[in-house]
Amino acid sequence: MEFFKEIFITVLYQPLFNALVFLYQYLPGKDFGVAIIVLTLLIRILVYPLMVKSLKSQKQGMELQPKIKEIQNKYKDDKEKQTKALMELYQKEKINPFGGCLPLLVQLPILIALYRVFWRGLDPGTLNYLYSFVPNPGVIDPNFIGLINLSQPNMVITVIAGFLQFLQGKMFAPKMGGSSGDGKKDLMSDIMKKQTIYFFPLITVVFLFRLPSAIGIYWIVTTLFSIGQQYFIFKQKKNEPEKS
């Protein structure tokens, strides 16, 4: 276990932490919040191809919902035939049913490392992880634009993060499939929609409520970036020619 911890620190945590301190040192104003925003944007740009692939896979899956529901209704009493027909549909449309999940799993270790960087970034002991070519700032000022102490929880930032999560859920939920004619499945679909719109934002607020607001800033920037990506990918459909 210690071996994997060292790998995690060396390959992910240390480079990200050094990048944060480097940005803090050299960006105008030495603002810790600005350094977090810039680092978050750089990471999002780095993983942009993975996120685009994930969103496009989700978009393709949503467009197939009528055909999927037709197969589910046709073979609702024969799960084996239903599974076979769904696999044939995915093959025909050249869609990986897990294509939307795999890119997110690849990003998970990066996200964990970023949380640790933003959570412990102001701890003086973490400065021991600096590379020799990154100047040691001695003390990092935790204030953002001179008003918000990012080492402490902040209710305003927490609420903004939750609200943006709500907007993202509202943007995504209407894209989900309609009625399947199966009461139980429709009920589950409604529950999933409500979780996307209301439950996840609530969890976001509860999660960030006691954490340093540095993580909230990261969450806000990430969600805004994701909303922009999502809007662009799903709006592309309007400019695409209709399939015959």
pTM (2 decimals)? Answer: 0.74
Tell me the pLDDT band of 29, cut-offs 50, 70 and 90: confident
Rounded CA Rg of the chain: 22
**Cα separation of 151 and 143, whole Å?**
8
**Cα separation of 182 and 12, whole Å?**
46
List pLDDT tens digits, range 179-235: 445 555 555 555 556 666 777 888 889 888 888 888 899 889 988 988 888 777 777
Q: Where is pLDDT greater, at 171 or 106? A: 171
**Cα separation of 210 and 240, whole Å?**
45
Average confidence score pLDDT of the chain? 78
Tell me the pLDDT band of 160, cut-offs 50, 70 and 90: very high
List pLDDT tens digits, range 67-111: 877 887 877 777 788 888 888 877 777 776 666 565 566 667 877
Are the C-beta atoms of residues 121 and 214 closer than 8 Å to each other? Answer: yes
Coil, strand or helix at 169 = helix
